[in-house]
Amino acid sequence: MAASTGPVIVAGAIAAANEALFAPLAGGKGANWGSVIRLVPVTAGLAIALALLERAAPKFAVGLAWLLVAGVIVFPPGHAPGVLSNVNKVMGL
């Protein structure tokens, strides 16, 4: 397994948890399972692409994967609001 695959899977899991768990808890709506199912092939494709990029530029690919994790946490990756916003609403902050 490439070193960039782990952070990509973490980013996909965070985005899926946001769509299926955090957004419904924060907004009172049901989970958007269509978005969660679409995230699986997108995450797999991105993991493959970064694994191929890692052969040419290993540190760049791993850094890009960790930037993806930070971006998923800060910016809204799907149809739901961002992870930080939803977690703050759930926690009452």
Per-10-residue mean pLDDT of the chain, 93 residues long, equals: 91 90 77 83 95 94 95 85 84 78
Answer whether 74's CB lies under 8 Å from 67's CB. no
CB 58 within 8 A of CB 26: no
CA atoms lying within 13 Å on the CB side of residue 36 = 15
pLDDT at residue 29, as a whole number: 73
Residue 27's pLDDT is what? 76
In the chain, domain spans: 5-91
- Asked if 42 and 16 touch (Cβ cutoff 8 Å), the reply is no
